Each structure stands twice: as C-alpha cells, then as structure tokens.
Amino acid sequence: GAPWAGAAAPGAQLPCCGLRGFILLDGETFEVKGNWEKGSNVPALGYDFWYQPRHNVLMSTELGIPKVLANGLDPADLKTGSYGRHINVWDWTTHVFTQSIDLGEDSIPLEIRFLHNPDAAEGYVGCALSSAIHRFYKTGNGNWAAEKVVQVPSKKVNGWLFPEMPGLITDILISLDDKFLYFSNWFHGDIRQYDISNTRKPRLVGQVFLGGKIPRDGPIVVVEDQELNCQPEPFVIKGKRVQGGPQMIQLSLDGKRLYVSTSLYSGWDKQFYPDLVKEGSVMLQIDVDTVKGGLKVNKNFLVDFGSEPHGPVLAHEIRYPGGDCSSDIWI
C-alpha cells in the first residue's frame, strides 16, 4: 500500500491503505489501532488514497493482487481480474465505502491527488497500464465521476514483451499552487509537465527523457510512434548511464526543483531493468520553469545509490521533512 498522507494533529489517528481496506495508526506513536473502514462492503483491492475533509470524502485506488504482481508482469494475468480498474469513494466521517468509479479494463490506477485548494472538489489519478490521466470531480447531484483528460499513446515495438509499449504512468503530483501536473512514464522514459489552469484540458508544456526502454542503442525497436520522430538517446549524467526509467517524483515547495528516482518495485525492476538491479537506482533533479512551463535536467546533480553500503540499493519514495506536494492536505 501507500504511505499515509498529510500532517496530523497530536493524538490524531491516520488511515494507511492496505489490500482491501485501511489500517488505522495512532498519529503520535504509529501504534496499530485496528481498521479504519466500517462495514463488510469494501473493495477487493487497494493502493493509494487522498482525502478532502471539506467534501467529506476519501478516494482510494487499486493496484492488484500481491501474489500476482510480486514477481513481475505476466500478460496472462491481465485477463483474470488480478489488476485494478476503479477509484473507490469513501465517506470521510463514517468510514463507509459509498461508490466505485470504473476507469476501464487493465487501467491499473495508482497515484491519486486532489487539487491542494481545500475547496476544490476535483483532482487527478494516473493509470499505469492504460497510460491515461483521469480527472475526477464531484457532480451536481453529490456523486463523483471521472473523465479521461490525457492519453499517452502506446508505441508499436519489436523485441519486447508486448507488441505495443504503454508509457506506464507510475507517479503523478500537482504543484502546491495547483498550476502544474507532473507525471512519469517508467517504460517510455520521460517526465511530463502539464499546465492545468483549465483542469479539464491539461496542456503539455514540458518534457524530458531520462532512460526508459526505448533508447536508440537498445534491443527494442520502435516501429510506429505517434509522438516521436526517432528513439531518444541514452541518458548519461556525470559519465554514468542511467538504468531504469523515471519513477517516483517529488517537487520542491517553491515548484522549481523536481526530483525523480528510478526504481519501481524489485520484482518489476528485475523483469524490465535487470541492469538497474545490478547497478542500483539514482536520484536526479529537474529544473522547472514555473512561469511558462518547461523542464531541464540539472547535469550537476546525481545521487547514485549503487555505491551505498550493502548495496546496490533500489531507492524509491522521495519526501520532504515536514510536508511536501504529495503529502500536504489543508482542511
């Protein structure tokens, strides 16, 4: 599951998403208090969550059955209902599951984010396998709905697990001023920045490639691409070729520095990026144009986890002490 989000007042109790529901933790001691959800009618799967007390709602997403996904992605499992496809809606006050929003077969919704404005009844969820961003929102009758607002086209390829390669959106975040949406494509190897001044029509304003499965000197040949004219160059920084692809991301509070790590999950790392497992992951910094939009790699910043004691290490989450763009929730 995902780590708990948001700062808590002394004595508060915090939900932590699990397979079917939520573990309730004491906000000071982190002692397990029991289950957060009430009733027996709960979704079969869980992963990330975000809540908005002003609208009395918590939203959760679905990854998949742990024993199925633990050792990698098997195409046969996609037709057995082993992976998730829903946003699940919960009543924040009563802890009762109230609604399910279907995002489509094999979508695998992962990270979910409300806008930071506590009055805003909308946000975004990134779907890994379908490589789509959906905007969720509160309707006039008080229910919740979703609409697809970004679609990353799959690339037709030779020499890979599937004949088409999705971007595999593994992380998303929204800047604290609610101006930009960022997300990573772990397979394609790029990070994207969208202007969301119009939340229903995100506009691509920045993009950088940081590895991925399709560099031009690799074994995979892209035979049809709706976005690129040629396969990207291998990504090298400070003389090191970066293995893996951009994965977890975190933005500085002023919105000017975007940090990225390259490991997803060890079972999937081993399957798709075996050299990443051998060499360890890295953390990179992307400089952000917060006025017009735009992304540029900081070539002077590299944290190489391959040389860690008892390594190499596969670093994953990135967090600021005291709160950041993917933990702070205002009530």
Q: How many domains does the chain have?
A: 1
* 297: β partners: 286
- The residue type found at 261 is S
In angstroms, the Cα distances linking 56 to 27, 143, 222 are 20, 12, 46
Half-sphere exposure of 140 (CA within 13 A, CB side): 0
Residue 155 lies in a domain: yes
Residue 329 lies in a domain: no
Residue 143 lies in a domain: yes
Mean pLDDT per segment of 10 residues, for the chain of length 331 residues?
32 56 90 92 93 96 94 92 96 96 96 97 98 98 97 98 97 98 98 98 98 96 97 96 97 97 96 97 98 97 93 93 90 84
Residue 313 lies in a domain: no
Res 40: pLDDT: 86
Q: What is the CATH number of the domain that holds 207?
A: 2.130.10
Residue 44 lies in a domain: yes
Residue 328 lies in a domain: no
Res 7: pLDDT: 31
- What does pTM read for this prediction? 0.93
Residue 172 lies in a domain: yes
**Residue 244, phi then psi, degrees to nearest 5:** 80, -165
Q: What domain range is 264 assigned to?
A: 33-307
Res 27: pLDDT: 87
| C-alpha–C-alpha distance, residues 71 and 211, integer Å | 22
The CA-to-CA distance between both ends of the chain, in Å, stands at: 24
Residue 8 lies in a domain: no
